[in-house]
Amino acid sequence: MIFLASEHKGEVEPLLKQFPFDKKGDHYIYDNLILYINHGKGALTLAFKSIELSLSYNIDVALLFGLAGSVSDFSIGDLVSVSKVKLLDGPSNPVYNPMELITVKGLKSVECVTLLAGFNFDSEYIGLFGDVVDREVYFFAKAFKSLDKPCFVFKVISDKNDRASINALKKESVDIGKFAEILKLIMWIDKDELTREIFVNTGFMDKKPIDGLKRLIQKRKYTFTQRQFLYKRLRINGSRCEKKAFKAKAVFLEKGVKTGRAKFKTDKIYKINDYVPVFHNLKDRTAIVYANKKGEFLRKTPNNYTPNGGYGYSILGQYNCIYDCSYCFLKGYFKSFNPVIFLNFEDYFKAIDEVIKRDKTRPLYFYAGTFSDPLALSFAGDFLAV
């Protein structure tokens, strides 16, 4: 069974006219499709009701459809697929831990920001964290993650996240014809377990490649592990690697940082309480973060990493790099590519002194570039010069 939810009736009114739904209590049923409309009751009600219906009908795949405001360069009327969602609670306290979602081939992939506290029309600021804004995606995705069910989110760009375009919006005029075609295909996909597995793992939205993969898997009698390896290869080979130059649009400055040590200058400076949630929620290559390092300043390298039986330590003075080298482990180590530069140098000196005092009998090696490229980041904070 497929579960489809929407926050407002106006967002799915054409579907109610196009498909012969039967109303059953507070939801609608047609074939293998369950439709629930939340009637503007809010994100938490949507999440809890979605869980309730999903458990009642043993849902296989969950879909959320609705409208979203653009804070990027998307056009009104674009149908997009959400790849990542973040919860934003005011400028200084973004909520930590973004969630990855499944996307489909052939649609523009976007990062969504769910606004927790009312509307926020500062598109320039929100645009550092995502491409579109809404009020319910994060909670819907969280609900189905708790159920361990595949979840897709489709949005039609309805406005530009400003008062003028929202006031002028007429939801009845939004064309959802493309989504209706996608919905018909997903209903076909869901009627076969292997077909559904292929769709969930590849995002293919065309019967031809799905049928081709199905015949291949059945002919070669692939095991579960072999199928997962095949899906992984398809995702890697089908992904588009877009090389982007690093161009910081803003600086985030953590409370207590000595600003005189920051070299990068910009008019867009945002003061924050903690760098961690900002760092993990930012869109890639949008900002530089200045902070004071807490906790671990040095990390011991593996045994035999250094010559002459010595001990090695990585100095955790910076994170990330402005380059995008395909072979570098940093591409998958952090949740974003934005540089973080720590400016509490005295704490590093103390940590190094403690190591030297503790071990005077063997050579010691200190590495400055394990988790960053200090030379590449020297334009923003010259850690090596200290």
256-265: per-residue pLDDT in tens? 998 777 787 7
pLDDT at 176: 79
Element holding 100 (H helix, E strand): strand 99-100
Backbone angles phi, psi at 120, to 5 degrees: -130, 115
pLDDT cut 70: percent of the chain above it = 90
- Which DSSP string corresponds to 193-233? HHHHHHHHHH----HHHHHHHHHHHHHHT--HHHHHHHHHH
pLDDT at 93: 62
Q: Cα–Cα distances in Å, from 292 out to 261, 318, 343?
A: 11, 10, 6
The domain spans of the chain are: 2-191, 250-367
Q: For the ranges 143-157, 186-200, 215-229, 329-343, which has the lowest average pLDDT?
A: 329-343
Q: Which of 32-46, 66-80, 243-257, 329-343 has the highest mean pLDDT?
A: 32-46
SS3 384: coil
pLDDT at 23: 94
Instruction: Tell me 186's DSSP state.
Output: H
For the chain, the helix, strand and coil percentages under 3-state DSSP, each to the nearest 5: 35, 25, 45
Q: CA-to-CA distance for 333 and 369, rounded, in angstroms?
A: 14
Residue 172 — very low, low, confident or very high, per pLDDT cuts 50/70/90? very low
Residue 270 bridge partners (DSSP): 252
Res 200 pLDDT > 70? yes
Residue 383 — very low, low, confident or very high, per pLDDT cuts 50/70/90? low
User: In CATH, what is the architecture of 2-191?
Assistant: 3-Layer(aba) Sandwich (3.40)
| Higher pLDDT pick, 379 / 253 | 253
Q: What is the mean pLDDT of the chain?
A: 87
- HSE at residue 161, side-chain half, CA atoms within 13 A, is 27
Mean local confidence (pLDDT), 356-363: 86
Res 174 pLDDT > 50? yes
Q: Across 8-48, where does the E strand assignment appear?
A: 22-24, 27-30, 33-37
Mean local confidence (pLDDT), 88-109: 79
Instruction: Tell me 245's DSSP state.
Output: -
pLDDT at 369: 81
| Higher pLDDT pick, 238 / 362 | 362
